Chains A and B, each alone.
Chain A
Amino acid sequence: MAQRIKTNIKFYKGLDNVADKLYGFVAKSNGSWRGCRETESKKKIVFVDTAIAKDIIPNTLYSCSLVPMRNEGGFIAKSATIIKFPGTVATVCRKNVFLVRITFGNKEYIYDPSSKEKRKNDIKSIADILRSRHDLENAISVAEDFIDNACIVKRLYEQSQSNV
């Protein structure tokens, strides 16, 4: 029986212009296979078993078990569990800087009441995005924590503007 490999991988859609075909890559690092970007040299391709493919969200990190393809040209992901990262809510209030930054994994969302961009100045939009994230641990609570901090920042920002 082929040995299974446990590793974390992101999958993408649309290999060779086949819209629904999911694929990712692994490369050997310090003797073990790890998920990697397409730009990595000496990588091997990973396809997703059709039995689990419908549940995979592209560009999201999964903990996977892989089996080698028969031709050893790559691997098949037989199981995939989404990895949830803890959300960190960091708030800054100083001089002209009023921000709430929410990070999880390598994702970052910023609330900035002084911004003219809706994606940065709209508390509800950011909270809705956070609630919908599958890769954010305790997404509902983190969204509430964000709202609490954003309201503080908004109030202090407006106070600072009225004092100018």
Chain B
Amino acid sequence: MNTTFKIQQIWQYLGVQDDEILIIRHYNKSDDKDEFLIAEVTQDGLKITTAPTMPELRADRPFQIIQQRDSSGKFIIPSVTQLINDKVSDY
């Protein structure tokens, strides 16, 4: 499953609004460091950029952040399917 598709799913799952940005912290294995994926709506659809640090956060710039660690403690892009499955299985 590619990154853009996963982020689109998260965008819908969280109900991110068009004037908000979505920030996802994740571990970049090839660079061996965390990075921040920033998704925002543009005229051409969802635009995703990468930043080495958390962008500046302000109260007048609405945003959502999501982060999850895998079993080894590294930040990963959460899987919406997994989130739903976990919720159902933990009856």
The interface size of chain B toward A, counting residues with CB under 8 Å, comes to 26
Q: Is A94 engaged at the interface, CB distance under 8 Å to the other chain?
A: yes
Chain B nearest CB, measured from A145 CB (Å): 6
B1 at the interface (CB under 8 A from A): no
Assess whether A107 is in contact with B90, with CB atoms less than 8 Å apart: yes
Assess whether B5 is interfacial by the CB under 8 Å rule. Answer: no
Is there an interface contact between A86 and B69, defined as CB atoms closer than 8 Å? yes
Q: Total interface residues on A, using CB and 8 Å?
A: 36
Closest CB-CB distance, B22 to chain A, in whole Å? 10
**Cβ–Cβ < 8 Å partners of B68 in chain A:** 86-89
- 4 tightest CB-CB pairs across the interface, nearest first? A105-B90, A94-B62, A91-B65, A106-B90
A interface residues (Cβ-Cβ under 8 A, vs B): 8, 10, 35-37, 61, 83, 85-95, 103-107, 135, 137-138, 141-142, 145, 149, 152, 156-157, 159-160, 163
